Amino acid sequence: MNVTVLERSPDTAAQSKLGYVDCDVHIYPATPTELDSFLPERWRRHRAMFGGRSRQALSYTANYPRMSPQVGMRLDSWPPNGGIPGSDLDFLREQLLDAFGAIHGVMLPLVGRCSDERNVEFGAAMCTAVNDWQAAMWSDREPRLKGSIQVPVEYTEAAIAEIEKRAGDRRFVQVQIPPRSLEPLGRRRYWPILEACAANGFPIALHLGGTNGHPSTGGGWPSFYHEEHPSYCQSMEALVTSLVVEGAFERIPDLRVVLVEGGFAWMPALTWRLDKHWQRLREEVPHLKRPPSEYIRDHIWVTTQPIEEPERPDDMLATLEWIGWDRVMFSTDYPHWDQDDPRYAFKVTLPEPGRQRIFRDNALEFYGLE
């Protein structure tokens, strides 16, 4: 029986002031047309007349209920003054940033279908619009919130132009790429984008999502959301493997990647397996000069939510040890239904200085924040 449960009494105000960095905050436009004001007229008209075209059967919603618009939110996150969860800055401050003393919140917008858009010019325009929207509507009004640069991964020139345009703008801390792209991210077609990220000092955030038209599991389309949710881990495993084995880290030594919302307890097992097979199959991939585990250790970070809750809570400590206490960063995923509370996400007391690293220092260092 897997029992991981909160048996602590309510925290005092002092205990709740953790002073942490939240590496996964979702923001939404207050109205469906809010993003339009950030689009040039050409694309505003296109959006109104034709709308988006992504690589799945459904429009304006997703294949699973959680990801449908306005569903799958934490029930108490609906702003009291109206609008959808994550669209009201004051309420987001009250419920998330101020409640537990967040130093920074890293925004990962899942709006605009930027990278999924088949009309890549429209996709590029939506990326620019969402980036300008993050800066104007969020970071400028609340400097604790940092943006993630949206790029059209199937339109290399536009993606690089967008990255270069934001270089040096400290309102943005990373480039966001959906893990479900057309091909695994380590493929050479994506290297120019990955190089541009590294050259301009941006790490890459792989936040679960993307509709590439492929089934979300290696075994085909799942029937249930219960099956879909753990498939995020499979997506992340595929991308980590691709980035390592294709040689992306060998080619781009400064490339840093953070996996967001894909779990992390699978990583040690994947690492062991990759190393084992490297010892036997190395000749096939002679561009790998070191065991895969070393590339992973040097280039990959993970965020915590949706956190694993092992049957024996202490097993979490061994998992963190295997991954590296300096490679794990706390995230809430506010305001989604499966978000984690910074006070209670870990079912085991973390020792110092590991706790402070996971909640604060790793992210400050990774993003170059103070």
Partner 1 sequence: MSRHVVAEAGEIAPGSCKIVTVRGREIGVFFVNDEYFALINRCPHEGAPLCRGRLFGLMEADRPGAYRLVRKGEMLRCPWHGWEFDIRTGQSWCEPDSVRARTYNVTVEPGGTLGKGPFVAEIVPVRVEQNYVVVEV
Closest CA to 292 of 209, 201, 186, 193: 186
> Which residue is listed with tokens 């999924």?
116
Which residue lies nearer to partner 1 by CB, 211 or 305? 305
Minimum distance, C-beta of residue 2 to partner 1, in the bound complex (Å) = 8
Cβ-based nearer residue to partner 1, 225 or 272: 225
Shortest distance, CB of residue 3 to partner 1, whole angstroms?
A: 5
Nearer to partner 1, 283 or 311 (CB): 311
Q: Which CB sits closer to partner 1, 174 or 303?
A: 303
Shortest distance (Å) from residue 208 CB to partner 1: 17
CB of 337 to partner 1, least distance (A): 7
Classify burial at 324, counting beta carbons within 10 Å of its beta carbon; exposed 0-12, middle 13-18, buried 19 or more: middle
Cβ distance to partner 1 smaller for residue 146 or 347: 347
| Long-range contacts, stretch 230-238, CB < 8 angstroms, 24+ apart | 230/263, 232/179, 232/208, 232/261, 232/262, 232/263, 233/262, 233/263, 233/266, 235/179, 235/180, 235/208, 235/262, 236/179, 236/206, 236/208, 236/262, 236/263, 236/266, 237/266, 237/270, 238/179, 238/184
Taking the least distance from each CB to partner 1, the nearer of 26 and 171 is 26
* Identity of the residue, 187 or 343, whose beta carbon is nearer to partner 1 in the bound complex: 343
Task: Kindly give, in sequence order, each residue whose CB lies less than 8 Å from that of residue 351, ignoring residues fewer than 6 positions away.
Answer: 317
Q: Which residues bind partner 1 (CB under 8 A)?
A: 1, 3, 5-7, 10, 74-76, 337-341, 343-345
Our CB check for partner 1 shows the closer of 76 and 352 to be 76
Report which DSSP code applies to 188. Answer: G
| Tokens 């325009």 belong to residue | 125
- CB count, 10 Å around CB of 104? 21
* C-alpha separations of 121 from 53, 118, 239, 242 in Å: 12, 9, 26, 27
Q: How many CA atoms lie within 13 A of 234 on its CB side?
A: 14
CB of 293 to partner 1, least distance (A): 33
CB of 64 to partner 1, least distance (A): 14
CB of 4 to partner 1, least distance (A): 8
Q: Cα(292)–Cα(276) distance, rounded to whole angstroms?
A: 9
Q: Which is nearer to partner 1, 86 or 147 (CB)?
A: 86
Token readout for 213 is 């038209």
Q: How far is the CB of 17 from partner 1 (least distance, A)?
A: 15
204-207 β-sheet, strand order:
21-25, 104-107, 145-150, 172-177, 204-207, 257-260, 300-303, 328-329
Residues forming a β-bridge with 356: none
Using DSSP's 3-state secondary structure scheme, residue 46 falls into: helix
Q: Report in angstroms how near the CB of residue 74 gets to partner 1 at its nearest.
A: 5
